Amino acid sequence: MTEDEARKRLKELAMEIRIADSQYYQDDAPILTDAEYDALRKENTALENEFPHLIRKDSPSRSVGAKPSGKFGKISHIVPMLSLDNAFTDKDVEDFTARIKRFLSLSEDTVLAFTAEPKIDGLSAALRYENGKLVSGATRGDGQTGEDVTANLRTVSNIPLVLSGSDWPITLEIRGEVYIDHQDFEAMNENQEAAGKDAYKNPRNAAAGSLRQIDPSVTANRPLKFFAYTWGDISAPLSETQMGAVNAMASWGFDTNPLMKVHQSPAEMIAHYHEIEEMRANLGYDIDGVVYKVNDLSLQERLGFVSRAPRWAIAHKFPAEKAITIVKDIEIQVGRTGSLTPVAKLEPITVGGVVVSNATLHNEDEIERLGVKPGDTVEIQRAGDVIPQVLRVTKDGQQPPFIYPVTCPVCSAPAMNDTDPKSGRVDVVKRCTNGLNCPAQAIESLIHFVSRRAYDIDGMGSKQIETFYEKGLVKEPADIFTLETRNKDIKLETWEGWGATSSENLFDAINARRSIAFDRFLYALGIRHIGQGNAGLLAKHYLNWDKFYNAIKSIDVIGGNEWAELMSIDGVGEGAASAIKSFFHSPDNQTIVDNLLTYVTVIDAEAPTSDSPVAGKTVVFTGKLERFSRDEAKAKAQALGAKVSGSVSAKTDILIAGPGAGSKLKKASELGIKTLTEDEWLNFIQS
C-alpha cells in the first residue's frame, strides 16, 4: 500500500470506527459485528505500524469508546478506562510475549507468568467503594469520562453494596463487565414477544440497554450480572500479582471468572485459549476471546501504557466470520488527504448477525492482486475493526476489469502516486492533487477538525459540516467561529431539524472551544503524518505555539538549526518533519492557520511539573543499555518529565552512554554536555 493509500484508508477507518463506537457505546445499537469491528481496528493498527508518521489525531488507537450520551450525569475516571490491543493468531501471542521481554530486557528463555481469562462480551463498568461501601458506579464512556449509572448498578444482584471481609483498601474501584447470560436472555425475549414487542438482538445489547435505563426500577427487573476482573483508583495495593488481586476481589464478595489461570509460556496460554474456544458454546454467556495479562504487578507498572492500551495485556480474539456474496460495483472514496480508496458495493448479506453491504479493497494493488471486478462472487470476512474485507474471488462474473481512475472522482483533478525522493519508492495510494480545493478533502478536513480528539465541538458532526460546506457557510476552520455573528442572516434556528435551543447549544459549544491546548490545535489541522502522538511530542518540546509556528516557518533549508531541532525530537521521523515543513510553508495553509488564530487562543503546553531532577531536561541515550531496554529507558525518562531526543545538539542537557557509544558521545564531549553512565543515570533520577 502506498503512503497516500494508507493515509486515506486511515482516515476512513477513523471515521468508520468513530461511528461504530458511537452506535455501540452511546446507542447500544452496534452496526458492526465484533469480528468486523476487530478487523477494522486490526487494519488500523497494521497501517499505523507500517506508516507511523501517518497516525491521525483522531486515530482509534488513541481513543476508547465514545463520549457519554448526555442522558446521565458524568463521572470522570481518575484512572482512565483503557481498551486492549488485539491478537488474532497464535503468532500474535508469541510476538506479544517476546515484545514484553525485549522491553524489560529479559532473555528469551526467561520464564514470565501470564494470566489468561475469558473476555466477556458485555458492558464495562467501574464501581467505587469507600470504607467498604458502594458510593458510585459509571460506564466506560470515552475512557476518561463515563455515565453515572450508580442507581442502576445498585440493582445488579451480584454487585455487593457492602464489601465482605475487612482487608480491602479504604478507596477501591473495581472494574468489570455487566452481562446477561443466555438462559436469562431467552426468557427476556420470550417476555418481549409475549408483550408484542421486538426481541433483543443479542445479550450484549440487552445488557447495555438495561443498565442505561433512566428509571432504575426498569433495570432492577432485568437479569443483569457482573464479573470483576480489574481495578482503577485504589488507596493501597491489592496484591503483588494479577491473580492475587482477582482472588482478593472474590474474597470481598465479587464474582470472578473461574476459568482464569496462570501460565508460564505462550504455548500454555494458547492451549488455554483453544480450550476456552471449545467450551465457548456451553459457557452460558457470551465471550469473544481470551485476555492475557502479565501476572507480576511490578512488571505491569514498568511496562506502562501506549496510547489507548496497556503494554502488559492483550486480547486474543476468536476468528472472524466469513461469507460469500456478489460485488455489485466498485466505488472510489476520497479521503481527507486526497487518497482514493476503492470500496466494493456488495449484494447485502448477513454475517454473524450483521448485514454487510460494503467491503474495503484498500488500494489499486489490492484490486489487481485479488483480480476482483464488478459481477464477481467473493468471499468476505468481518474482522473486528473496519468494514469487512474481500479475501478472494470465488467465481468470475465475466465482467470487464475495473479501471482505476487517474482523476479524482469528486473534483476531476489529476490523481497521482507519490514517490519518495530518497528511495524512489512509489506509494501504493493514489491521491487527488487538488488539496483543499477538492470538496471531498475540504469536507473531510473540516470533519477531522471538529472530531472528538481535535476540537470536539458538540453538535457539529459530519452531517452538519457537509451541510454548512454545501451552503457555502463553512469553507475553512475559521468560518466555524464566525457562524454565530453571521446567524442574523443564516437564521440557523429556522432550518429543518434545528430550533432555537439546538442552534444556541451549537454556538455555546463553539464558543467553549475558543481556547484549546497546543497539541489538540496542531492535531486538528490535519497535517499528514501528524497524529495525536506526534502532536503531543511537538507540544511537549516547543511548549508555546508561537515558538513552534515561527520556528517551522523559518526553516529555509533541510539541515539548518530549526530543522535539526525538529528532527531531534525522539519519535518524530523525517516523514513527519517533512510534512510539517511542507504544510506550514504553504501560503494557503498559513492563511488558514492565521485566520483561525484570529478567533482562537492556543494554550501553552504544560512544562513538566515533576520534582525529578530531569523534569524539563533534554536527554539522549546512546550505546548499549544493560539494565533496561532502550524503550523502557525512554519511557521512564519521559514519565519523569524529561524530553528524549534522538540526536545530540547544543540543547541537549544529559547524554546517557552505554558500552559502544560512538559519535554521539564524541559530540557531547565537544559540546561540554553532561555525560552519565547507565548506573550514574539511575542514581541521578532516583535522587
CB neighbour list of residue 23: distance below 8 Å, 6 or more residues apart? 29, 30, 31
pLDDT for 307: 64
pLDDT for 436: 78
Q: pLDDT tens digit string along 639-676?
A: 788 888 888 888 889 999 888 888 889 899 889 999 99
- CA 237 to chain CA centroid, Å, is 28
Residue type, 37: Y
Q: Is residue 188 a contact partner of residue 222, using CB atoms and an 8 Å limit?
A: yes
Distance CA 540, CA 388 (A): 38
pLDDT for 661: 83
Distance CA 356, CA 104 (A): 43
What is the average pLDDT across 380-392?
A: 72
Q: Is residue 169 a contact partner of residue 163, using CB atoms and an 8 Å limit?
A: no
Q: How confident is the model at residue 352 (pLDDT cuts 50, 70, 90)?
A: low
Q: How many CB atoms lie within 10 A of CB 355?
A: 10
Q: pLDDT tens digit string along 489-508?
A: 999 999 988 899 989 999 99
Q: What percent of the chain has pLDDT above 70?
A: 92
What is the average pLDDT across 259-280?
A: 94
Phi, psi of 462 (to 5 degrees): -60, -40
What is the average pLDDT across 464-478?
A: 93
Q: Strand pairing partners for 345?
A: 329, 358
Q: How many CB atoms lie within 10 A of CB 175?
A: 20
Q: How confident is the model at residue 267 (pLDDT cuts 50, 70, 90)?
A: very high
Q: How many CB atoms lie within 10 A of CB 168?
A: 22
End-to-end CA distance of the chain: 49
Q: pLDDT tens digit string along 297-317?
A: 999 999 988 767 899 999 998
Binning the chain into helix, strand and coil, the percentages to the nearest 5 are: 40, 25, 40
C-alpha to C-alpha distances, 183 to 33, 65, 196, 288, 334, nearest whole angstrom: 22, 28, 20, 18, 47
Distance CA 57, CA 536 (A): 10
Look up residue 624 and give its three cell numbers. Answer: 548499549
Write out the catalytic residue numbers: 119
**Domain boundaries in the chain?**
1-60+319-456, 74-307, 517-603, 618-686
- Closest to 115 (Cα-Cα) out of 300, 308, 309: 300
- Give the residue with greater pLDDT, 638 vs 538: 538
pLDDT for 482: 95
C-alpha to C-alpha distances, 496 to 464, 479, 503, nearest whole angstrom: 12, 21, 11
- Closest to 432 (Cα-Cα) out of 406, 405, 409, 408: 408
Tracing cell 442552534 back to the chain, one arrives at 503
Using a 10 angstrom Cβ sphere, with 0-12 exposed, 13-18 middle and 19 or more buried, the burial of residue 305 is: middle
Distance CA 369, CA 361 (A): 10
Q: How confident is the model at residue 69 (pLDDT cuts 50, 70, 90)?
A: very low
Q: Is the pLDDT of residue 618 over 70?
A: yes
Q: How confident is the model at residue 446 (pLDDT cuts 50, 70, 90)?
A: very high
Residue type, 314: I
- Give the residue with greater pLDDT, 395 vs 320: 395
Show the CA angle centred on residue 68, arms to residues 67 and 71, nearest 5°. Answer: 150
Q: pLDDT tens digit string along 141-180?
A: 878 888 899 999 999 989 999 999 889 999 999 999 999 9
What is the average pLDDT across 320-346?
A: 89
Q: Is residue 549 a contact partner of residue 529, using CB atoms and an 8 Å limit?
A: no
Look up residue 183 and give its three cell numbers. Answer: 438462559
Report helix, strand or coil for 415: strand
Q: How confident is the model at residue 110 (pLDDT cuts 50, 70, 90)?
A: very high
Q: What is the CATH number of domain 618-686?
A: 3.40.50.10190
Q: pLDDT tens digit string along 42-68?
A: 888 888 888 878 887 667 776 555 454
| CATH homologous superfamily for the domain 517-603 | 5' to 3' exonuclease, C-terminal subdomain (1.10.150.20)
Tracing cell 528469551 back to the chain, one arrives at 108
Lowest pLDDT segment from 183-187, 365-369, 638-642: 638-642
Q: Is the pLDDT of residue 262 over 90?
A: yes
Show the CA angle centred on residue 452, arms to residues 552 and 568, nearest 5°. Answer: 25
Q: pLDDT tens digit string along 599-609?
A: 999 999 877 65
Tracing cell 457557510 back to the chain, one arrives at 473
What global pTM score does this model have? 0.55
Mean of pLDDT over the chain: 86
Q: Is the pLDDT of residue 614 over 70?
A: yes
Kindly list the strands in the beta sheet with 133-139, ordered across the sheet, starting from the edge strand earlier in the chain: 133-139, 123-130, 171-179, 225-234
Q: Is the pLDDT of residue 329 over 90?
A: yes
The continuous run of DSSP H or E covering 355 comes out as: strand 354-360
In CATH, which of 3.40.30.10, 3.90.1570.10, 2.40.128.110, 2.40.50.140 is domain 1-60+319-456?
2.40.50.140
What is the average pLDDT across 234-259?
A: 96
Residue type, 301: E
- CA 654 to chain CA centroid, Å, is 33
- Give the residue with greater pLDDT, 377 vs 36: 377
CATH 3.40.1190.20 fits 74-307, yes or no: no
Q: pLDDT tens digit string along 413-441?
A: 999 888 776 677 888 889 988 877 888 98
